[in-house]
Amino acid sequence: MSLFDYKLSDLQEMLHKKEISVNDLLDEAYNRISEVDGDVKAFITLNEETARARAKELDELRGTPEGRGLLFGMPIGVKDNIVTKGLRTTAASQILDNLTDPLYDATVVQKLDAAEAINVGKLNMDEFAMGSSNENSSYYATRNPWNTDYVPGGSSGGSAAAVAAGEVPFSLGSDTGGSIRQPAAYCGVVGLKPTYGRVSRFGLIAFASSLDQIGPLTRTVEDNAYILETIAGLDKMDSTSADIEVPKYTEALTGDVKGLKIAVPKEYLAEGVSDEVKEAVQKALKVYEDMGATWDEVTLPHSKYALSTYYLLSSSEASANLARFDGVRYGRRSPNAENMLDMFKLSRSEGFGDEVKRRIMLGTFALSSGYYDAYYKKAQQARTLIKKDFDDVLADYDVIIGPTTPTPAFKVGEKTEDPLTMYANDILTIPVNLAGVPGISVPCGFSGEGLPIGLQIIGKHFDEATVYRAAHAYEQATDFHTQKPSLGGAK
């Protein structure tokens, strides 16, 4: 039995009773990475030397009042678009390949360190978080631990795959349009996108600033709650972080959902959602009924505009955010440039991948004179309507429940030539980001090919506690979260 099969709270107890050491946990992580990451390819950069030194410090504090951080001694992986002081941070892009020694830590990394967690390494992703399969990484594609012929989802594919493969018990990802929840569903783990503003974005390399949120991926809902409790809260370095008290999320995990009112949008079980995904969601709703919850079908009428709204807004913000990568201050500078204009053009054309270029061009077009009102402004108006749909439904219901993705994971290479089909994989997660509400994905079944299916639970603004309560009760009533992947498939 792996040490990572234990819950965070159990590991903490074992550490403080000196039944295991922090170094034992690191051995578990790095041995497993050595064993399987050649197939999974979840990590870009490892942090072993620094992690071992930190483990030695923490082992001396076991059982003492000083060694009582909420995540004491816990190994964790960090997505590679979250800045780590002194540790290479690339956003899986060649334009940042040489950013080997960042000067500061992201706020979430500072909070992990204060909670006495240990960063094992930086996790693979779609370049600049732009993608739904992890095939857009400029290094290599991460594979799904359930079957390495299949994608792990994206853009936080490395974060989800590392947890599913048992390389780390917890990881951080970022979610702009489903980039935590979709890979969590594909890899059979728990992934939460918090309310926009719940977690500081300081130190997150921006894709779309009005949509991006950092969140945790874990094996269980309880562990997820511990991680969010650690990283959430107001940050003076991020003007969009909210000054709202962070509750003890684990206290919400009562297992009791009697009287819980669930809304099920008919749009989330409509054409395009596979029969086996619909069946898994219907069975999950029956579990909730048996626990005393009630559900009604509702409508989110403007969801049909979510995909086009998202890609216009996110690409527009990306075109502005990525303008800073110009070869002047940091990152790649083309050795082929003969003058300043060539330096700008060549550094960007050589450093950015095709998907990043595609979105920069789309965003620049949408923001350009003569098209701003027709595209960007119209998309902002549609976003307002989408948010209102959620507000109206959540005024009468505690949570919204549906599938996380229309289908289970697809094969590597299956959709790379068709960007529009690839974009549609996020159609059920994107509205949550546009509305700014919290959403979680928990395992709720398996396809005929043995691939995980995810259940998405969406809550009110800053009501992650209810989302966790609903997710935890379902998790405890089922055994999907206890099943582990095989690393079989193509090598």
Residues annotated as part of the active site: 79, 155, 179
Tokens 């396809």 identify what position?
Answer: 447
**Side-chain half-sphere CA neighbours of 174 within 13 A:** 34
Distance CA 382, CA 310 (A): 10
* Dihedral pair phi/psi, residue 9, rounded to 5°: -65, -35
Q: Which letter, b or e, does each residue of 86-118 get, where b requires 16 or more Cβ atoms within 10 Å of its Cβ?
A: ebbbbbbbbbbbebeebeebbbbbbbbbebbbb
Spatial CA neighbour of 109 closest among 192, 172, 29: 172
Q: 287: buried, middle or exposed (CB in 10 Å: 19+, 13-18, 0-12)?
A: middle
Spatial CA neighbour of 81 closest among 15, 200, 18, 172: 172
CA distance to 7, 32, 165, 409, per residue, from 488 (Å):
26, 15, 11, 15
Sheet with 75-79, strands from edge to edge, namely: 43-46, 118-123, 75-79, 170-175, 213-218, 190-193, 439-446, 452-458, 399-403, 261-265, 294-298
Type of residue at 390: F
Q: Is 434 helix (H, G, I), strand (E, B) or coil?
A: helix
Q: Which two tokens stand for residue 386?
A: 């989408």
CA distance to 30, 177, 181, 439, per residue, from 152 (Å):
21, 16, 11, 19
Distance CA 156, CA 171 (A): 10
Residue 232 has what DSSP assignment?
B
If you count them, how many residues does the chain have? 491
Rg for the chain (alpha carbons), in Å? 21
Distance CA 332, CA 450 (A): 42
Spatial CA neighbour of 216 closest among 175, 265, 258: 175
* Dihedral pair phi/psi, residue 386, rounded to 5°: -65, -45
Does the N-terminal peptide bond of residue 155 adopt cis geometry, omega within 30 degrees of 0? yes
